[in-house]
Amino acid sequence: QVQLVESGGGVVQPGTSLRLSCAASGFNFTSYAMHWVRQAPGKGLEWVAVMSHDTTTEYYADSVNGRFTISRDNSKNTLSLQMNSLRTEDTAIYFCARGGYGSGSYLPLDYWGRGSLVTVSS
Amino acid sequence: AIQMTQSPSSLSASVGDRVTITCRASQYIRNDLGWYQHKPGKAPKLLIYAASNLESGVPSRFSGSGSGTQFTLTISSLQPEDFATYYCLQDYIYPPAFGQGTKVEIK
């Protein structure tokens, strides 16, 4: 069955960096776009970033553009999110999610992980 | 960026009630909209994709409709397991945008 397991969360200070990972299994990882979505405490879901199945295309939310970088290793079935210059408002649970199949297809998000908590605090 | 406005932000309903949640886009998004259910501490769940297509395994009491800028999620007969927060998500224009969510609570 499809499984997505996030890791790498923790407590960090503002201005520092953190790298999240998402281990995927149970499907052909190389065929699907992959996303990061977050939920700040007491807030709704916020889309963060997507990478196409073949790594050629990526998009970011305005709130993280220039600070976060999404990447994937199709040989290891792993999705990553490098988060730099972290701010207190980046505090959230970060979910990875499977997107669309094949070229030019990014949604819907049909499988999600349980999330990894990132806390940015001094 | 496109703004997605959901209404209501919360509602109280009883088991067996018919529930309707609306999502309005600030501009045309064709039918590129999905609906998601989220319970605390759990992974969000896809219910509807492309505005009106029921995801495999999702009960038929859930349905979606609409196109252009106005969309609706309907739960025909609310069940105890349906108490959750519901979100719409558009991906016609990037970046994708969620609605602010509708919390469905027990009356």
The three-state DSSP-derived secondary structure of chain A is CCEEEEECCEEECCCCCEEEEEEEECCCHHHEEEEEEEECCCCCEEEEEEECCCCCCEEECCCCECCEEEEEECCCCEEEEEECCCCHHHCEEEEEEEEEECCCCCCCCCEECCCEEEEECC
Are B73 and A23 in contact by the 8 Å Cβ rule? The answer is no
Please check whether residue B34 touches A, CB under 8 A.
yes
- Give the residue carrying structure tokens 């979910």: A95
Nearest CA in chain A to B92: A107
* Token pair recorded at residue A25: 């299994």
Are A23 and A77 in contact by the 8 Å Cβ rule? The answer is yes
Tell me what pLDDT residue B107 has. Answer: 86
| pLDDT tens per residue across span B36-73 | 999 999 999 999 999 999 999 999 999 999 999 999 99
Angstroms from A15 CA to nearest CA on chain B: 25
Please check whether residue B83 touches A, CB under 8 A.
no
For testing contact with chain A, the best of B35, B46, B104 (most A CBs within 10 A): B46
Tell me what pLDDT residue A103 has. Answer: 80
| pLDDT tens per residue across span B67-107 | 999 999 999 999 999 999 999 999 999 899 999 999 999 88
Q: Which has the closest alpha carbon to A91: A115, A107, A66? A: A115
Percent of chain A with pLDDT over 90: 93
Q: Exposed (0-12), middle (13-18) or buried (19+): which is A99, by Cβ within 10 Å? A: buried
